[in-house]
């Protein structure tokens, strides 16, 4: 038809494009994502678009009405509180489970920190921060735990993106503080017990929450 779908499959292409548009705020929260309109714009049929919308709903970036229409998710402060509550429940657990593995090999975390220290934009640091945490979830060895966390990641990116666009968070302090806090966590993994790692991660998440504008 029109433009060649770059990535492996069309639905994957549709997912990535819509995902970015939603997180970057190009798609208005609450706006309708009609299958035909999206399909025509992306140069494909409704079928892969439909599939993409299903997967984006799983990631919390899209929500369906009772009659099956897809809308760009409009997160509320309460939604964010829910996400925070779940991070606080899942991440310290993941840190404890991952501790034995990360004590042996924390190279991925260290590499992430080293890149973070050189990062310049808030956007990059946000992404690297999430990746740091995801490395830990992955190292926990609990595939379901990882998947649950990943299912919330999109919503967190969405929330943080909107926050950055509206509030212009002060970047100077947070950039280095993020790397420092992460370095402390890595040190804990290398020298302390799993229970200690769990406690530190809990404090880290609590601190992260304190940081954000209350809105």
35 near DNA, judged by CB under 7 A: yes
Gap between the Cα atoms of 129 and 140, Å rounded: 17
Both tokens of 211, joined, read 């940081």
Distances (CA, A) of 119 to 116, 128, 129, 174: 5, 9, 11, 12
Q: Which is nearer to a second copy, 84 or 122 (CB)?
A: 84
- 178-205 CB burial, b ≥16 within 10 A, e <16: bbebbbebbebbbeeebeebbbbbbebb
Site residues for a second copy per CB under 8 A: 2-7, 51, 54, 57-58, 64, 66-68, 82-83, 85-86, 89-90, 93, 97, 142-145, 148, 151-152
Q: Of residues 3, 67, 78, 172, which one binds DNA by CB under 7 A?
A: 67
Decide: 78 and 126 in contact? Cβ < 8 Å. Answer: no
Both tokens of 101, joined, read 């593995």
Closest distance to DNA from the beta carbon of 139 (Å): 29
3 near DNA, judged by CB under 7 A: no
Closest distance to DNA from the beta carbon of 152 (Å): 25
Q: Of residues 46, 123, 127, 202, which one binds DNA by CB under 7 A?
A: 46
Gap between the Cα atoms of 79 and 167, Å rounded: 18
Q: Which is nearer to a second copy, 4 or 214 (CB)?
A: 4
- The stretch among 4-12, 20-28, 81-89, 197-205 that binds DNA (CB under 7 A) is 4-12
**Given the rule CB under 7 A, which residues bind DNA?**
1, 5-11, 32-37, 39, 44-48, 50-51, 65-70
């Amino acid at each position: 038809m029109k433009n060649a779908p770059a990535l492996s499959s069309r639905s994957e292409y549709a997912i990535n494009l819509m995902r970015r548009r939603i997180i970057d705020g190009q798609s208005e929260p609450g706006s309708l994502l009609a299958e035909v309109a999206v399909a025509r714009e992306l140069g494909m049929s409704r079928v892969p678009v439909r599939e993409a919308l299903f997967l984006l709903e799983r990631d919390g970036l899209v929500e369906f009405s009772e009659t099956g229409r897809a809308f760009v998710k409009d997160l509320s402060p309460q939604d964010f509180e829910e996400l925070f509550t779940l991070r606080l429940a899942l991440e310290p657990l993941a840190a404890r489970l991952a501790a034995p593995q990360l004590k042996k090999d924390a190279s991925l975390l260290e590499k992430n920190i080293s890149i973070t220290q050189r990062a310049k934009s808030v956007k990059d640091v946000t992404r690297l921060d999430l990746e740091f945490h995801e490395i830990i979830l992955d190292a926990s060895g609990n595939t379901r735990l990882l998947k649950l966390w990943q299912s919330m990641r999109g919503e967190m990116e969405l929330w943080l993106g909107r926050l950055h666009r509206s509030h212009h968070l002060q970047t100077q302090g947070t950039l280095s503080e993020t790397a420092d806090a992460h370095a402390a966590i890595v040190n804990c993994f290398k020298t302390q017990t799993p229970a200690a790692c769990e406690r530190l991660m809990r404090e880290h998440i609590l601190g992260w929450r304190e940081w954000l504008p209350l809105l």
